[in-house]
Structure 1
């Protein structure tokens, strides 16, 4: 039962309560009900009698044969092969013992339920598509850049500085990625300068050490005479002084 049907019923009951409180003019009530595009029965519960109805008399009699109008507990009536859901609304004043019985075909309710399920399915599909799109956006903006950043950090850990690549990202991740890239370049420059320093130091130390080693071994083996020994010792002292100067730079 859709919202439009409920609105029409509320308007109908309100109009009956306001305009026909005495219910002395049955013809006017009948004319009013006939204008409504709904299946309605005006029922007198005290007399157990149908006063007016928007349906043909044969249909009302068919309902009477298959159903007990006075049974207020039964909400589903049968007519031929169809079933109808009933709604009872008391017409004011209550002392009039008048009830407005509204009948809704079960197939209409099933159609409404079917429509509701379809709409719910559409909402679910739209929600799923939106969720996939949001997931894709978050993956592209957060997960993928972070994964690539982690891969670049592994390269830094293994000192593969030449393989470091800038990462395309946005926001704070972009700033972090730039800092990591700059750090990698600075670390690479520092390591290269250290390597260059040790290479130069090794070259500078090699000659004096070989000179000292040569004279020391010659003196130890007594291959030099006294004059050459003195000269060798002097050379060794001078080379040691030069080494000290190199190391103190």
Structure 2
């Protein structure tokens, strides 16, 4: 690699160097810069010129979430902002992107009135799906939508489904389903688990459906086995994509109750590589 020119090789005699000195000095500076950046100035060429090879380089990480229901975006760890939070455009040097999308879980249903000899419970909400894909091309002005968490079921009403995450037409990841309203009774019975979101579309690296919430079993009045919501397609049970837990009441006389909302809205992470 060429050495950088000395300051005097460009500017001597100061303050009015001769044309010959300036021409020769700037020629050396050009050789030095090209040695650093390569002929094109592209990152891959610069890495080759510096002897780092032509391996993949992470250029930028963009994370889309929701804060208080409002869609936000954070770039390279910066503070979330609503500006530009619903679209994506790649950088000029980007060769391809990888998109990781985790849809939200469903909410759990509410419970009806119980009598003195009854108990009531609902199953948890289903888990959101999880998808990862790699994409190339223009990748400009892509519409980005982060799904909202499944809402709590009203009094004796079903929980809300988790919203769908979408990254243009490239990747669609469904949210988990909300569980039905509770069933009051005495003795022994069970409530089946709630289905998670279906398989993502466009996920050409990894596609996983959301997990089904656990079946709730009653072996005697006042006893139940589990109210856990469905896991995210990523496997998480207490984070993004997890379904809300089920609701229990009893035994004894009680008024109707609302269910629980899923704790997290969806999340989409876009990583750009050269």
Same fold (TM over 0.5): no
Greater Rg over alpha carbons, structure: 1
The two structures have a TM-score, normalised by structure 1, of 0.24
Flag the structure with higher strand content.
2
Structure with the larger RCO, 1 or 2 (CA within 8 Å, 6+ apart): 2
The two structures have a TM-score, normalised by structure 2, of 0.22
Flag the structure with higher helix content.
1
